[in-house]
Amino acid sequence: MNALKRNNVRVIGDGKRAMVLAHGFGCDQNMWRFVAPEFENEFQVVLFDHVGAGGSDLSAYDKTKYSTLHGYADDLVEIGAALGLKDAVFVGHSVSAMIGVLASIKAPDLFGRLVLVGPSARYIDDGDYKGGFSEKQIAELLEFLEDNHMGWSAAMAPSIMGNPDRPELGEELTNSFCRTDPEIAKAFARVTFTSDNRSDLSKVTVPTLILQCSQDIIASEEVGKFVRDRIPGSEIVFLEATGHCPNLSAPTEVVTAIRAYV
Amino acid sequence: MSEPGSDEYRELFEHAPCGYLTIGPDGRITKVNATLAKWTGFAPDQFIGQRLHQFLNMAGRIYYETHIAPLLWMQGSFNEFALDFETAAGERLPTIANAAERRDTDGGVQFTALVFIKAADRRLYERQLVDSRSELRVSLANERQTAELREQFIAVLGHDLRNPLAAISAGARILQRSGNLQNEKELRVLDMINSTVTRMSDLIDNILDFARGRLGGGITLHRAIRPLEPVLEQVVDELRTASPQRVIQTRFEIADPVNCDHTRIGQLASNLIGNALTHGARDMPVRVGAKTNGNEFEFWVANAGEPIPDSAMEKLFEPFFRGDVRASRQGLGLGLHIASQIAQAHGGRIDVTSSPEETRFAFSMPLAQADERIGKP
């Protein structure tokens, strides 16, 4: 299996150092469209889609492998190996923050810096730990995803399930970014929102920056501080940007913060 | 028409049969119409300055943050998404929504407008579709699994049946060679054993082929160009041995080389002749012929006896089809089916004519090689 093809890897820019940008749940590498060009001159910017999202190879989707974040982290390590990456900067949004953490534990030489945008080590409350969601709410989310993929599955599935002969099928669709296979999206949602990586944080040996948005209902400030407290020597920067996607809503602020750190 | 801002426009905005809401660049709600306020049970001013997600259920909030907001940033609009409000009374209000950003000339977002259509029935209907589709998937998967198991079972059964048969056949051969069997009755028993072994062996071959075909392999050919006549002679000899009381007349005129799978054509011949022996008049000969005519290889089997009824004609080549015969001669109904599969795999066909005078199965295939593998699209 060719990792570069499987994950629809794109490399732009010709800097010496590599910067890997990893998208989170709900989108694909398009998520970085306002950020990636800013680093083109200094970095070799690596963009990719997790299997099941965007232009990834859907046939590579393996239920068992991707039933935990480790499957996604293994892919990331393989992409790094295929490109011969060492000491790269990793920028992971949302759930990809933890995927990057796992990958850096698996392959300590791969990344020299981690930038975690809106990370959460666990989304579901657990005793004193406040992840922000109850188990019941996550169950509702999984069901709700079907409601929203309802309209998509018929129209989109054929075009994304591999219909290269008829690209126009995809063109007609209004929601042209961040396509995901509905079944895989649901499974990814389950893996994301039921993950618990709290015990992995202390194993990180790489300098780490956390970018924390204000009023992010997916990853609250409390959750961000928890990650900061557990990753040895990590720093946190509080962004003015609100919501969960500062890389889209406030790219300049994100770019400035990353540049200052790396 | 009235001017925008007039009472008529205001009326249209406030009391349209859909909910309207606008969000400022800071993500806070700037306007809401009376319809949405009424549906949700909140006063309009309870919306102003708040964030949309505060009025959604948790699933809607996560979905909005992870899907809708990013898409709005990237493409400026997003249509036909499901969103659930949580009303003041704590009830769920299912809607279908469209959203579009309005940007100024510098590309900055002025506001985002959202429209909501109440969609309780529609969402319920869609939910039922999703449910029934997943039920179908489960039952389809079960069916497939059952079918696979059944076919594996048939394949294993076919294999296991061969072994005892080989032992019986070897025993009969030893008896025959020993020359110890002299009286007519004993020799008849030996004939019967041979005949039964041949028939049984053909049945097992057919079962295996059928199971294999259904398992997705189709009939695979190993074509070669070598004399075909000896193969056909051997098939006829075996059947003569198996049915010593019957007469089989042959006429082979194979002038051109035939590029075919010899074992398979032998099996086809055996199945067709076996069929004629089973269904044909017992006191009349079965006539078998083969020839090439430059373009085609033809092989035919003819017998006398009752013609095939019209009603049976269509189903002759279907698996498990069995005509009216004595129970003792009944097979599985796979012989003709497999013969037709072999014919197809060779790019050929089997034609049937049946009248009170003669019933004839005629196989023909092109001499120029066509496809290697048929039976599976």
Interatomic CA distance for residues B161 and A50, integer angstroms? 51
Task: Give the residue numbers of A annotated as catalytic, written as ranges.
Answer: 94, 216, 244
Strands (DSSP E) contained in B47-118 are: 77-86, 92-103, 109-118
Q: Which residues in chain B are classed under CATH 1.10.287.130?
A: 136-214
Confirm or reject contact between B245 and chain A (CB < 8 A). no
B117 burial type by CB count under 10 A (0-12 exposed, 13-18 middle, 19+ buried): middle
**CATH level 3 topology of B218-377:** Heat Shock Protein 90 (3.30.565)
Contact B126 A133 (CB under 8 A): no
Is residue A58 over pLDDT 80?
A: yes
| Cα separation, B257 vs A87, whole angstroms | 69
**Does the domain at residues A3-122+196-261 carry the CATH identifier 3.40.50.720?**
no
How far is residue A85 CA from its own chain's centroid?
18
**Better-scored residue on pLDDT, B206 or A8:** A8
Chain A residues in contact with B130 by the CB 8 A cut-off are 146-147, 150
CATH topology assigned to domain B7-118: Beta-Lactamase (3.30.450)
Would the CB atoms of B70 and A176 count as touching at under 8 Å? no
Q: Minimal Cα distance from B67: which residue of A? A: A26
Nearest CA in chain A to B120: A147
More confident residue, B213 or B338: B338
Q: How far is B241 from chain A (nearest CA, A)?
A: 56
Comparison of pLDDT for B315 and A86, the residue scoring more? A86
Largest CA-CA distance found in chain A, in angstroms, rounded = 54
- Sorting pLDDT into bands at 50, 70 and 90, what band is A163? very low
List of chain B residues whose C-beta atoms are within 8 Å of the C-beta of residue A188: none
| Spatial distance between the Cα atoms of B240 and B263, rounded to a whole number of angstroms | 19
CATH architecture of B136-214: Orthogonal Bundle (1.10)
Q: In this model, does residue A119 exceed pLDDT 60?
A: yes
Tens digit of each residue's pLDDT (9 = 90 or more) over B36-73? 999 999 999 999 999 998 999 888 888 888 888 888 88
- Mutate which: A28, A150, A213, vs B, most B CBs within 10 A: A150
So where are chain A's domains? 3-122+196-261
Cβ–Cβ under 8 Å, residues A230 and A257: no
| Cβ distance of B70 and A140 shorter than 8 Å | no
How much is the pLDDT for B377? 37
- How many contacts (CB atoms, under 8 Å) link A and B? 98
- Contact between B69 and A31 using a beta-carbon 8 Å cutoff: no
Helices B120-178 & A135-160 angle (0-180, nearest 10): 70
Collect all residues with Cβ–Cβ distance below 8 Å to B134 and sequence separation of at least 6: none
Q: What is the pTM of this model?
A: 0.66
Q: Do A94 and B66 touch (CB under 8 A)?
A: yes
Integer angstrom CA distances of residue B64 from A120, A224, B81? 18, 21, 10
Alpha helix stretches (DSSP H) within chain A? 3-6, 36-39, 69-83, 95-106, 135-160, 168-171, 182-193, 221-230, 246-249, 251-261
User: Residue B106 above 50 pLDDT?
Assistant: yes
Global ipTM? 0.85
Which two three-digit tokens encode residue B40?
């949700």
In 3D space, the residue among B306, B219, B197, B321 whose CA is nearest the CA of residue B268 turns out to be B219
Contact assessment for residue B59 and residue B84, using Cβ atoms and an 8 Å cutoff = yes
Digit-coded pLDDT (tens) for B225-255? 889 999 999 899 888 877 888 999 999 999 9
- Best of B55, B61, B66 to disrupt the A interface (most A CBs within 10 Å) is B66
Q: What number is the average pLDDT over the span A186-196?
A: 93
Q: Which amino acid is at B101?
A: E
Which amino acid makes up residue B146? T
State the average pLDDT over residues A19-47: 94
Contact assignment for A150 to B57 by CB distance below 8 Å: no
- Calculate how close chain B gets to A68, using CA atoms only, in Å: 20
- Residue A97 to residue A90: CA distance in whole angstroms: 9
Nearest CA-CA distance, residue B336 and chain A, Å: 40
The alpha-helical segments, DSSP class H, found in chain B are 7-15, 34-40, 44-47, 58-63, 69-75, 120-178, 184-214, 229-242, 262-279, 310-313, 335-345
Question: What is chain A's Cα-based Rg?
Answer: 17
Question: What is the nearest CA distance from B82 to chain A, expressed in angstroms?
Answer: 5
CA distance A114 to chain B (A): 22
Assigned token pair, B126? 């869609």
Q: What's the rounded Cα separation, in Å, for the pair B253 and B272? A: 18
B62 — contact with chain A (CB < 8 Å)? yes
Rounded CA-CA distance A117/A27 in Å is 14
| Closest C-alpha among B214, B281, B277, B215 to residue B248 | B277
How many helices (H) and strands (E) chain A has is answered by 10, 7
If DSSP codes are grouped into helix, strand and coil, which group holds residue B170? Answer: helix
Asked which of B18-22, B117-121, B236-240, B245-249 is least confident by mean pLDDT, the reply is B236-240
Q: Mean pLDDT of all residues in chain B? A: 86
Q: Is B71 on the interface with A (CB under 8 A)?
A: yes
Cα nearest neighbour of B81 on chain A? A148
Burial class (CB in 10 A: 0-12, 13-18, 19+), A80: buried
B141 near A CB under 8 A: no
Q: Which residues pair with A115 in a beta bridge?
A: A91, A209
Distance in angstroms (rounded) separating the CA atoms of residues B255 and B227: 10
Residue B244 touches chain A, beta carbons under 8 Å: no
Give the one of A141, A150, A174 whose C-beta lies nearest to B62's C-beta: A141
Which residues in chain A are contacts of B127 at CB distance < 8 A?
146-147, 150
* Rounded-to-integer distance, Cα B30 and Cα B175, Å: 102
CA distances to A65, B73, B108, B134 from B105, in Å: 47, 16, 7, 47
Residues in contact with B207: Cβ distance below 8 Å, sequence separation at least 6, in sequence order: B154, B157, B158, B161, B332, B334
Contact B273, B265 (CB under 8 A): no
